[in-house]
A and B are shown apart, each in its own frame.
Chain A
Amino acid sequence: MLKILTKVREAFLRGWRGCKGFVSRKGVGFTIVTGLFALLVLANGAYALWEASYHPGFCSLCHIIRPYVDSYYTSHHTDNIHYQAHVVCKDCHVVGPGEALQEVWSYVTGNYDNPLPEKRVSKETCLHCHRSYEALAQDTAHLERNPHAGHWPEMECNLCHKAHRPSVDYCGQCHASGHTIQP
């Protein structure tokens, strides 16, 4: 990691020195204007890219991610239920620009696992839309054993609800509860 950073730094300094040589005193005004324009184009591009990244099609540009997007459109799992509810990838896969850049970097350098390690979406992310545990417990109160009102009121949703593969009955590992988890 450090090696890579050092290389990036060296390249940056080389470029900077080159730029300094190019900018003569006479052309300062021209350089500033061109520079600003270039910056504007870049910023606009970045913004457009960022906006585009909210569309699942953007995510499927990457061959590692494509299977998950395909599943999102066509599966019988939780992901497809979310597609039907107009929830997009980035609603659950919450990433900031920094993280996104890092992912691009990992992709370019080939420093990634395929298939990707399973992401565990936190219950806070789920409850952002799904209100609260209490509300969910009310929704499933008609079930003989209410899975949302058990020993662990703070259970992570992802223990049962899997997004891109069939959900599992976590409780059923010990209890013969026979829950069929909604996708």
Chain B
Amino acid sequence: MVDRVRDSVVSIESRGGFGAGVVWDSKGWIVTNDHVVQRSESRVTFQDGSNEIGRVLARDPAHDLALVSVPNIVGFAIERGDARTLRPGDALLAVGHPLGLRDAASFGIVSGTGGVNWMGRPASELLQADLRLAPGNSGGPVVNASGQLVGIASMVLSPGIALAVPIQIVHAFVREVEAKLAA
């Protein structure tokens, strides 16, 4: 399953940022964190080692999301799941490049869906997990026990308290971008 997820994981380097990204669809769109791509252009490296220059299509700083477009996609679009059906205790996997270690998988569980502030920070609409993530996981996929994308790894409040942007927010962001481009 991790192999399957990895096919959809890229690494993204841009000046001032390094992280992971997820191949969202076959038209060359990659989802990552806004804080990973601080410049408009970045280097996107695929599983086979090939790389392309990616261009930031749109940003959603409030949710720490960005869409990056590359001319050619290597790998598959990730299978999408539903974060709203997750229960505390459900298994999660994150794949990213923690501390530069390529495509490392971490295993954890949904640690809470309390829906209120966590230590003073508004975590209400974020997915909270006990995944042990590190810099380099940012922008990478968090998948459920079936390997389906449920969130984008976004921040670590403290070791073992990871927050991910749930997939429904990613959907809304991508739809918004599509609508803007069509207009």
Q: Do A and B belong to a common assembly? A: no
**Interface residues, chain A, with chain B CB atoms under 8 Å away:** none
**Interface residues, chain B, with chain A CB atoms under 8 Å away:** none
